[in-house]
């Protein structure tokens, strides 16, 4: 007599996060993960498996790191751009894309004292006249050393460019205290370069004039309503050396932008970001603020140009961006939501630069 065996029992179905594909045995564990992860459609995404990653570095590791995802790595190696990490439908489309994606260095340009004529009326009418899209200016400073040991950073050179890479302003800067180390190997600056340098106060006023579209600072609303976005790398350091303040929400810092940071949220150098995302090298000899400011602007525009489809796109919510909890929903109500519904509720904890091209929401 044959004895009928019991069918093998299926293991408990695991719950998978719709964004990063992590799996959990319990619904409450998935909910806690969603509350802490701040997943959103603005995070970098694999074009093959559609997985969201917390940074571009995480996505690069997923695609071609030491232990890449096999199928994704294979498909991406044939049809993916290693600079912008976009996947194309064919190798031919990829080849056509690479022509425009890999940029060339702006090169070193010998610069004297330069100010664009009629700054108040000729700076980018297209952007400055549109309050929804205020336009952007990139800034870079070069620092010499001050103090008894030359370790104090002093701004001795500054450069500003617009979105079209036009030079708006360049000047050598006379710092408020004597320079004790010109750091010539890095800055290329000598004592002779600073003989006719502009006073720091004058340089600061000129920069603010450019950023506020030529209007008197006393007439400009402090909320940045008529100001331009300020782009740069490690902007807090540059502004501190310039003794200058600017609204935080108008800063676009490539060193602090979450998707461009390391997986542990430490900043990459501008040199690394330029080589990795734009395809050319900078700072091969002395640092050139013209080259660096253009590179920062190109990085900003590449990040801003991403097309993130979102049903209800707006500004960030409060510091707790998990909408379900901020609305006071009860735990049992969250338990009834599917992983997809939980993902739809999750909001990013940083402002994606793609929002700079979208109309501002009415207050």
The whole-number pLDDT of residue 322 equals 47
Q: How confident is the model at residue 313 (pLDDT cuts 50, 70, 90)?
A: very low
The whole-number pLDDT of residue 160 equals 97
| Residue 301 main-chain phi, psi, to 5 deg | -65, -35
Residues above pLDDT 70, as percent of the chain? 79
The whole-number pLDDT of residue 294 equals 97
CA 316/CA 34 separation, integer angstroms = 16
Whether the pLDDT of residue 323 is over 50: the answer is no
pLDDT in tens, 86-135: 999 999 999 999 999 999 998 766 566 555 543 433 444 334 344 556 78
Mean pLDDT of 140-144: 96
Mean pLDDT of 56-62: 96
CA 219/CA 212 separation, integer angstroms = 10
Q: Using DSSP, how many helices (H) and how many strands (E) does the chain show?
A: 14, 10
Average pLDDT of the chain?
Answer: 84
DSSP structure class, residue 273: H
pLDDT in tens, 65-74: 888 899 999 9
Instruction: Spell out a b/e string for 8-32, using b for 16 or more CB atoms within 10 Å of the CB, else e.
Output: eeeeeeebebbbbeeebeebeebbe
Hey, CA dihedral for 231, 237, 242, 247, is it positive or negative?
A: positive
Strand ranges (DSSP E) for the chain? 15-16, 23-24, 114-115, 136-146, 152-162, 167-174, 179-181, 198-199, 229-232, 251-253
The whole-number pLDDT of residue 67 equals 86
CA 260/CA 56 separation, integer angstroms = 6
Q: How many CB atoms lie within 10 A of CB 198?
A: 18
Cβ atoms of 155 and 173 within 8 Å: the answer is: yes
pLDDT in tens, 219-254: 555 544 578 999 999 999 999 999 999 999 999 999
Name the one residue in this structure whose structure tokens are 């000899």.
285
pTM, two decimal places: 0.86
341: left (phi over 0), alpha (psi -120 to 50) or beta: alpha
Q: How confident is the model at residue 286 (pLDDT cuts 50, 70, 90)?
A: confident
DSSP letter for each residue of 143-163: EEEESTTS-EEEEEEEEEEET
3-state secondary structure of 347: coil
Residues above pLDDT 90, as percent of the chain? 68
Domains for the chain: give ranges and CATH numbers.
15-101+308-357 (no CATH), 114-303 (3.30.420.10)
DSSP structure class, residue 339: H
The whole-number pLDDT of residue 331 equals 67
């Amino acid at each position: 007599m044959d004895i009928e065996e019991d069918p093998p029992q299926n293991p408990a179905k695991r719950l998978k996060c719709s964004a990063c594909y992590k799996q959990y045995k319990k619904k409450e564990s998935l909910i806690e993960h969603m509350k802490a992860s701040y997943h959103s459609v603005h995070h970098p995404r694999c074009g093959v498996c559609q997985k969201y990653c917390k940074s571009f570095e995480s996505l690069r590791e997923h695609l071609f790191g030491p232990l890449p995802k096999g199928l994704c790595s294979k498909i991406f190696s044939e049809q993916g751009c290693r600079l912008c990490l976009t996947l194309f439908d064919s190798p031919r489309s990829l080849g056509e894309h690479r022509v425009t994606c890999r940029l060339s260095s702006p090169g070193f340009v010998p610069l004297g004292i330069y100010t664009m004529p009629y700054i108040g009326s000729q700076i980018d009418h297209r952007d400055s006249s549109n309050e929804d899209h205020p336009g952007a200016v990139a800034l870079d400073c070069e620092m010499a050393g001050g103090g008894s040991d030359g370790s104090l950073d002093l701004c001795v050179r500054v450069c500003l460019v617009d979105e079209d890479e036009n030079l708006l302003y360049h000047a050598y800067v006379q710092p408020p205290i004597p320079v004790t180390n010109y750091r010539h190997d890095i800055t290329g600056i000598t004592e002779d370069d600073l003989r006719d340098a502009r006073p720091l106060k004058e340089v600061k006023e000129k920069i603010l004039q450019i950023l506020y579209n030529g209007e008197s600072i006393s007439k400009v609303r402090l909320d940045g309503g008529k100001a331009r976005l300020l782009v740069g790398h490690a902007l807090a350091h540059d502004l501190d050396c310039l003794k200058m303040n600017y609204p935080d929400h108008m800063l676009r810092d490539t060193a602090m932008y979450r998707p461009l940071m390391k997986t542990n949220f430490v900043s990459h150098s501008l040199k690394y970001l330029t080589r990795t995302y734009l395809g050319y090298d900078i700072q091969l000899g002395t640092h050139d603020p013209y080259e660096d400011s253009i590179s920062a602007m190109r990085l900003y525009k590449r990040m801003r140009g991403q097309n993130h489809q979102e049903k209800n796109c707006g500004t960030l919510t409060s510091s707790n961006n998990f909408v379900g909890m901020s609305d006071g929903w009860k735990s049992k109500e969250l338990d009834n939501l599917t992983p997809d519904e939980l993902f739809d509720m999750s909001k990013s904890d940083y402002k994606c630069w793609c929002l700079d091209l979208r109309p501002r929401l009415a207050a």
